[in-house]
Homo-oligomer: A and B are copies of this chain.
Amino acid sequence: MRSGNTLDYFFSPRSVAVVGASADQTKGGYNLIANMLESFSGPVYPVNPGREEILGVKCYPSVRDLAGKVELAIVFVPAAAVPGVLEDCAAAGVKAAVIESGGFAEVGEKGKELTERCLEIASRTGLRLWGPNCTGLVNTDPFIFTPFMRAPKAHERLKPGNLGIIAQSGMLAAGFMFQYVLSGFFQVSKACAIGNKIDVDEVEVLDYLSRDPRTRAVVAYLESIERGRDFLEVARGMRGRKPLAVLKGGRYEEAARAALSHTASLAGSDEVVDGALRQAGVVRVHDFHDLMNLGKAFSLHPEPFRLNSPRGDGVAVVTVTGGGGVVSTDMLRESGLSVPALEKRTLEALSGIFPEWMPPSNPVDIWPAVEKRGLTVFPEVLRHVLDDARVDGVILLPFASRLLEYFPFEEVGRLIRESGKAAVSWVFGDLRFFGHYEERLREFGIPVYTDLRSCVLALRAYLQYSRAARGNRD
């Protein structure tokens, strides 16, 4: 799984030293070594001059005592001690260091000096640096987990997935990890918290992920994009091939100022950023929640969908609630998608299923037909809707109740899969039936959300990405 890229030393190191390992269970240095000893398959060396052993493993006073034995060092010592540690690393033949310590550029002049010293060592010795001021990275295959938060049995809980995550903020990256990754909201290939990114930056990481065969889609939270041109070039290379969504903070002056003090990065003019990202085929969002919801959508279906209409933006709403149809139609239109009138042959086919008094239209309100003939009308209607040449994607709006036990999941899932068209689903109603519904649709690669806004966001991104892929083929 090594690609010959120097970032391999971070993602797939053969051996690791934890510098600043601690035996004190309240410290991050303990969490680090405990996580690594438990979950990393290669040799792990604790480094701490004050200890003989930690967790039953021999502890070394300095990385210099491990000459030739270590590929990656995880460094969690006070900022002032970091340059010395890096010199030790270089001297011992270490290839790469994840610096998790804070107290660098974000803390003023003294920190800037420290940063310069670290960079000087890197450029002199070839040692690659990740961070500082971050929680590092996670790779699910081969497994490595560097955050300084304790995550027992991380290697068993984190199943290998296809989503790459990049986050500039350490605490958020940790939040993403606990809330979305460890909980199974989606499954990641690699998660990267890049912090102050003084050496390895978002561009290099994105480029690595764009080439990584295990990564099929990427979501990124960034406070700054410094090498804008390079970033866009990588993004353009992914266009239509690997979906990419970006949350770029610091759009307003007050936020840009905060971004500066937080990770010492200058945010670019937001209008320029916005236009450039769009042109490069990047889906831009403005909330973490949206970014994670797109992560789920992309991860469930990273492949482009089959577009049928010339503009590739036609959505049909198949709903058991008239009100849901009305509101989702408003939201689809507002987001720039169209809710086209269905083809004549579709309407004729639906007329045969609907009660006589109900003329079919889009949104397709199937409740009267369900009342008349039961849930079997759901796939019947869906087949005709998916056959419609004006329809590129569908939103399903069922009602969660005991009735879902009779929902024809297999038929609905197969129809959608065979159509090659994009589909997302809202679920509302009795909470007890949400889990089963989501699980069954997930098997067919269909994301389920509890708010319509996320449905529309995901579907829009699906179609945007599929149009980009169509553009590539033209």
Contacts and interface: CB of A to CB of B under 8 A. Distances in A.
A207 to B, nearest CB: 22
Contact of A428 (B175, B252, B257): B175
B252 A401 contact: no
Interface in A342-381: 355, 357-359, 361-363, 365, 367-368, 371
A107 B429 contact: no
B107 A251 contact: no
A249 B327 contact: yes
Given A103-B357, A288-B327, A333 B254 contact: yes
A428 B452 CA distance: 21
Interface in A95-148: 102-103, 107-108, 110-111
A271 interface: no
Contacts of A302: none
How many copies of the shown chain assemble into the complex? 2
Nearest to A260: B326
Interface in A413-436: 428-431
Nearest to A259: B326
Contacts of A362: 254
Contact of A223 (B261, B323, B339, B359): B323
A399 B171 contact: yes
A255 interface: yes
A334 interface: yes
A399 B174 CA distance: 9
A363 B259 CA distance: 10
Interface in A388-428: 399-401, 428
Contacts of A110: 357
A162 interface: no
A54 interface: no
B171 A320 contact: yes
A247 interface: yes
Contact of A111 (B331, B357, B450): B357
Of A107, A430, A431, chain B has the most CB atoms within 10 Å of the CB of A430
Interface in A198-238: 221, 223
A255 B399 contact: no
Given A171-B321, A247-B327, A261 B359 contact: yes
A179 to B, nearest CB: 6
A258 interface: yes
A334 B451 contact: no
Contacts of A428: 172, 175, 179, 288
A411 to B, nearest CB: 22
A316 to B, nearest CB: 11
Nearest to A183: B431
A398 B166 CA distance: 21
Given A111-B357, A172-B324, A252-B329, A258 B363 contact: yes
A450 B175 CA distance: 11
A322 interface: yes
A103 B288 CA distance: 44
A326 B262 contact: yes
A299 interface: no
A249 B330 contact: yes
B431 A287 contact: no
Contacts of A363: 255, 258
A355 to B, nearest CB: 8
A273 interface: no
Nearest to A249: B326
A466 interface: no
B329 A399 contact: no
A221 to B, nearest CB: 7
Interface string A178-195: 110011000000000000
9 closest A-B pairs by beta carbon, nearest first, are A169-B323, A262-B322, A289-B451, A171-B321, A255-B329, A249-B326, A107-B357, A252-B333, A172-B323
10 contacts: A110-B357, A169-B323, A171-B324, A223-B326, A252-B333, A252-B334, A255-B327, A286-B331, A287-B452, A289-B450
